[in-house]
Amino acid sequence: MNDKYLCLNCWRISHVNDLIVKSHWYEPPGGRLGDLYPHTFWQKLWGLAPKDPYQLANQNGRTVKCKCGQAMPRCAKLSNKLSAIRIIGPKNSGKTLFLIRMIDSFNQEFKEMALRGICETSQHFEKVSSVLLKDKRWPEPTSLTGEAYAWRIMDAQSAQHPVLAFHDIGGKIWEQEQRPKNLTNYLALPGHLIFVLDGARMDGEQNNIDDLKILEHITENWNKQDYNNTKLALVITKADILWHQYPLLQEVCESLSKTVDKQDDLKQFLRQSGRNTLIIFAERYFRDTYIFATSSLGFCPKDNSEQLERQPEPLGTFLPLQWLLDIEEPV
């Protein structure tokens, strides 16, 4: 009984036996599945496989919950390993647009693979992404509670791909000293980091101070092992605003191999934008650091109106995920 369940409310991973069941009136409240349906002495003695306590609870009409009180549906069971890709970055840096386009371009670039939302992910994501993709409007700034998403990666060969998890949240939260418990759990999950760097901010030294502060804050309790396990993608968003001046930023959007070839130039570009200390910190501590440029729109809007003048065509938005998950270049 090694099944594990992921809670999208508090980001806790629970062993099946540790989940809580809604008790009947004559029982003490808050019983653990493992206590209610134990693998008994006699079952062990006769070498009988343990019965799935989750299934037994369902058969008895009991609701299964996480410790935080959130109902734990069957689809939250983790059949593969989990990779929580944290998207962090200052407020208004383009995190939500980037997430929308990254997930959307996953489905377009990789015909052999598909994403399947876990729990309420698809409904919640559709609500946010349709603002951009269908109504062609900017999404509102994300709230300070944010929204949790998790997807399974499926393919025809049933290869073992990780389950993807994201918590999109207003960027202000990453600058604060205190964080809610669910984000602390989220940051402790295994996975990698995407740091969104606002491409529209080229205002020198202040970038260094703001971005570095966020990265240091996220990693303040990390030890060497955490850094050794984590790849860091530094993603320059809104490249369309700058690419008439820096054609490099358009060129690297084309493929992962172009991005790999141009790492030194991208580093130079980030230094120019005042982020030298950030690069030094990243390269010194993380397992691997790569710099990417993306445009969630594929064009630079001519005016500041709320409605986009044409359908956005993302550029480069899939490449960071491709690199973080070691997915081969599409042919």
Ligand X SMILES: Nc1nc2c(ncn2[C@@H]2O[C@H](COP(=O)(O)OP(=O)(O)OP(=O)(O)O)[C@@H](O)[C@H]2O)c(=O)[nH]1
Chain residues in the site for ligand X (CB under 6 A): 89, 91-97, 138-139, 141-142, 170-171, 237-238, 240-241, 295-297, 300-301
Shortest spacing between CB 325 and ligand X, in angstroms: 22
Does 9 participate in binding Zn ion (rule CB under 5 A)?
Answer: yes
- Contact with Zn ion (CB under 5 A) among 21, 33, 66, 153: 66
Rounded to 5 degrees, φ, ψ at 72 are: -115, 95
Residue 70 binds which entry of ligand X, Zn ion, Mg ion, none, CB below 5-8 Å type-dependent: Zn ion
- Contact with Zn ion (CB under 5 A) among 4, 22, 34, 70: 70
Please say whether the beta carbons of 7 and 76 come within 8 A. yes
Please say whether the beta carbons of 159 and 122 come within 8 A. no
Shortest spacing between CB 241 and ligand X, in angstroms: 5
Residue 296 binds which entry of Zn ion, Mg ion, ligand X, none, CB below 5-8 Å type-dependent: ligand X
The token duo for 237 is 């968003």
How far CA 221 is from CA of 39, 43, 130, 194, in Å, comes to 37, 43, 37, 18
Residues in contact with 139: Cβ distance below 8 Å, sequence separation at least 6, in sequence order: 96, 97, 100, 128, 131, 132
How many chain residues touch Mg ion (CB under 5 A)?
Answer: 3
Does 185 participate in binding Mg ion (rule CB under 5 A)?
Answer: no
How many Cβ atoms from other residues are within 10 Å of residue 323's Cβ? Answer: 18
- Contact with Mg ion (CB under 5 A) among 93, 121, 142, 208: 142
Sign of dihedral through CA atoms 120, 321, 217, 138?
Answer: negative
Q: Which is nearer to Zn ion, 67 or 91 (CB)?
A: 67
Q: Which residues within the stretch 80-119 sit at the binding site for Mg ion (CB under 5 A)?
A: 95-96
Query: Residue 84 and residue 90: Cα distance in Å, rounded?
Result: 19
Q: Which residues would be at the binding site for Zn ion (CB under 5 A)? A: 7, 9-10, 12, 66, 68, 70
Which residues of this protein are in contact with Mg ion, per CB under 5 A?
95-96, 142
